[in-house]
Amino acid sequence: MIVFPEIAAPLRQVYEKAGVAVEEVNFRQGAFRYFRRMRAIFRRYRVDTADIEFFTYFDPVAWMARINGVRHIVFTESNSGLMRSRSWKAALLRLRAALVTAPVKRFVAISGFVRRQMLQLGLADDRLSVIHKGIDLQRYQPDGDARRKLVEQYGIQNNEVILGTVTILRRFKHPEVILEACGLLRLQGVPFRLFVGGDGELRPELEALAGKLGIAGRVHWLGYVQRPEEFIRGWDVFLLASEGEAFGFVLLEAMSCGIPVIAAASGAIPEVVDDGRTGLLAPVLDARAMAEAIRSLATDESRRCAMAAACLERVREHFTVDGAVQKTLRVYESMWKQ
């Protein structure tokens, strides 16, 4: 397992516990240096198969692996975003993707949405599989006492609905939509508290927006949270407003904790959230629709409870780690038989 140094710390323990050797290499320090370190690692472990993830179609990592003797290469796409290029720009993107990914034998999309994006780039449908991510059911599970603890710690009133999100505070995540929705709730007289887990360059701007909307006293900025499930378990509703979300793993974290979701109907989110059963979907960038969805659940505790049970059922049926592992192994096996 080769990882970037900045993500090695939280992952190393998990990988090494499973018997995986972890090597840290930083691609951003230069492609040539990365190539040399990759060659040393591949020779040491006699690597025959490489699964590339968290790179883009345009990084030459697949060619680096092939030149270093790796016979079987899988490219897993998990990046969010929408392909908006048209005409000659789209043609150039398709050409570049074809050239850079030529050594790849199999492609994996983490959602049907990502698969459609990959097809727009001209990647071969017969080499492309969709494998949804799986959740650790031992780590993410309900805690019936979590809400009471949160109420006591933050002085939350009995009539306040507890809302929360965990997200990177960047443009495509559109956290401002959540704040705008909460601003509308204030005007409608709906009592609430909002917890925001995560950090990013938008935080100062968002804090200013919360003040402008008159909700600064109702928003708790948590910053980076290493174990977000400890907060999520105490929330009544989980919110996400992303546009072009590749998968939305954090939605599974909330659902596995028994928390219904209100999110934008964009990207892969409709594949994760069963609208009306495990949560509610609102049109993307529509703060008014999100506010109405929140209001409808805030005033209907029995519906939230029904959705919580449906969340647990859906995760266990469709989004387990074991299920994702089995599908991944089938991709590898089909490649090895060639």
Q: Are residues 305 and 166 in the same domain?
A: yes
What is the rounded average pLDDT for all residues in the chain?
92
Residue 7 pLDDT level (bands cut at 50, 70, 90): low
Q: Are residues 254 and 290 in the same domain?
A: yes
Does residue 179 contact residue 149 with C-beta atoms inside 8 Å? Answer: no
Q: Are residues 100 and 197 in the same domain?
A: no
Angle, CA of 216, 221 and 222, to the nearest 5°:
160
More confident residue, 263 or 33: 263
pLDDT tens across 129-145, in order? 999 999 999 999 999 99
Domain count for the chain, please give it.
2
Residue 141 falls inside a structural domain? no
> Under the phi-then-psi rule, with left for phi > 0, alpha for psi from -120 to 50, and beta for the rest, what region is 79?
beta
Q: Are residues 84 and 159 in the same domain?
A: no
Structure tokens at 236: 């009544």
Does residue 122 contact residue 94 with C-beta atoms inside 8 Å? Answer: yes
- Taking CA atoms, 22 is separated from 3, 11, 42, 256, in Å, by 7, 9, 12, 28
Structure tokens at 304: 């939230």
**Parallel/antiparallel/unpaired status of strands 128-130 and 192-197:** unpaired
Query: Quick check: 256 pLDDT over 80?
Result: yes
Residue 331 falls inside a structural domain? yes
Across 137-158, average pLDDT: 95
Q: What is the CATH number of the domain that holds 8?
A: 3.40.50
Which positions ≥6 away from 119 have C-beta within 8 Å?
A: 125, 128
Q: Are residues 127 and 151 in the same domain?
A: no
Query: Quick check: 87 pLDDT over 80?
Result: no
Q: Are residues 190 and 294 in the same domain?
A: yes
Give buried/exposed letters for 168-200 (b at 16+ CB in 10 A, else e).
bbeebbbbbbbbbbbbbbeeeebebbbbbbbbe
Which of the given ranges, 2-16, 108-122, 174-188, has the highest pLDDT on average? Answer: 174-188
1-10, 187-196, 300-309: segment of lowest average pLDDT: 1-10
Q: Are residues 287 and 327 in the same domain?
A: no
Residue 140 falls inside a structural domain? no
pLDDT tens across 174-222, in order? 999 999 999 999 999 999 999 999 999 999 999 999 999 999 999 999 9
Does residue 214 contact residue 183 with C-beta atoms inside 8 Å? Answer: yes
Q: Are residues 126 and 183 in the same domain?
A: no
Domain interval for residue 12: 2-134+321-336
Q: Which of 82, 108, 80, 116 has its CA nearest to residue 250?
A: 80
Q: Are residues 299 and 328 in the same domain?
A: no
Residue 50 falls inside a structural domain? yes
Q: What is the CATH number of the domain that holds 229?
A: 3.40.50.2000
Q: Are residues 189 and 294 in the same domain?
A: yes
Residue 163 pLDDT level (bands cut at 50, 70, 90): very high
Q: Are residues 173 and 300 in the same domain?
A: yes
Q: Are residues 75 and 172 in the same domain?
A: no
Residue 320 pairs in a beta bridge with 135
Residue 196 falls inside a structural domain? yes
Residue 161 falls inside a structural domain? yes
